[in-house]
Amino acid sequence: MSLLFRFLMGLFMSIFCALSLSLFVPIVMGVPIVWMGVLMGTIYGTIIGTLVMTVLPVIPLSMKYAVKCGAKEGSVAWFLLKDVLLCTFMLLIISFCLTWINTGMDAQFVDRWLATAPIMWIINYAVAIQAEPLCLFLASKISRTNPFEAPAPAPAAPGDMSPDA
């Protein structure tokens, strides 16, 4: 999986994840929606999520998790299981950062951070399973990468005496 593909998938998935968090957390908390807050939360969350998904192997790990659970790669079950790990990780990272940015770090930080986590995980998961096919399509087209294709084997070095050469 190329770095460009991971960056693009991180960017597109982070947009949806950050937007859903920025829009639905105020609703879940019962506070009014402030559109500037939604915009800034989406921008901050997208930047943070893109960096995290590019630097850390979140996507490859979530793919391996789905396969380890017994789902065939590319199947509906594989997509659904893959998004469980992906959404959990992204929800925790993006919501942590957005909560810190918006409310600061104090003794009640963990309570504020995790107060909406169960409901937001469900919302984020629903958004992710709907948005991921579009994100996957766009990232594949832009990077000209097929994420389901195994990487080509490295060419044999000159003088290599292996039976494959």
Domain segments of the chain as ranges? 3-143
Span 24-31, average pLDDT: 88
Predicted confidence (pLDDT) per residue in 59-92, tens digit: 888 889 999 999 888 888 988 998 898 889 888 8
Do residues 147 and 5 make contact, with C-beta atoms less than 8 angstroms apart?
Answer: yes
CB neighbour class for 94 (10 Å; exposed up to 12, middle 13-18, buried from 19): buried
Q: Which stretches within the chain are classed as H helix?
A: 3-29, 35-55, 58-68, 76-103, 109-115, 117-143
**Distance between the two ends of the chain, CA-based, in angstroms?**
25
Closest-CA residue to 11 (of 101, 64, 90): 90
CA angle 22, 24, 28 (to 5 degrees): 130
pTM for the full predicted model = 0.79
Predicted confidence (pLDDT) per residue in 32-56, tens digit: 999 998 999 999 999 999 999 888 8
Plot region of 144 (φ>0 → left; ψ -120 to 50 → alpha; else → beta): left
Task: Dig out the tokens for 3 from the structure.
Answer: 């770095």
pLDDT at 153 over 60: no
Q: What is the pLDDT of residue 112?
A: 86
- Of all residues in the chain, the percent with pLDDT exceeding 90 is 32
